[in-house]
Amino acid sequence: MVRSWLLDLIASGLKEDTELSAIEPWVADSGEGRWTIQEAIDLDIPAPVITLSLLRRLRSRQEEFYGDKLLAVIRNQFGGHAMKTTEES
């Protein structure tokens, strides 16, 4: 059996509402990725993975996708990052 901590976080986040109906597909960023990307640019060091990760978080604020809801749940579960709900909109 293959186990994954991230999949465990998703399972935990889906326990109460598998549709994630109360979760907005808005993924928070703490600023660390922005700082890292800016530093990489200043040092002429490519950082494609973290750059795409930040861009994905920003894209989540433009369109509604179930995957963005899952991403918001994972980041909330492992880092306590902010998570918007439909009640806050």
Residue 17 maps to a domain = no
Residue 56 maps to a domain = yes
| Tens-digit pLDDT profile for residues 15-38 | 878 888 888 878 888 889 999 999
Domain that holds residue 38: 5-12+22-85
Token pair listed for 3 = 């186990």
| 81 neighbors 53 (Cβ within 8 angstroms) | no
| Tens-digit pLDDT profile for residues 47-73 | 999 999 998 888 877 767 777 788 888
Residue 55 maps to a domain = yes
Residue 50 maps to a domain = yes
DSSP 51-89: HHHHHHHHHTTTS--HHHHHHHHHHHHHH---EEETTT-
Residue 65 maps to a domain = yes
How many structural domains is the chain composed of?
Answer: 1
Residue 63 maps to a domain = yes
Residue 41 maps to a domain = yes
Q: How far apart are CA 78 and CA 31, in angstroms?
A: 16
Q: Which residues fall within 8 angstroms of residue 65, CB to CB, at 6 or more apart?
A: 25
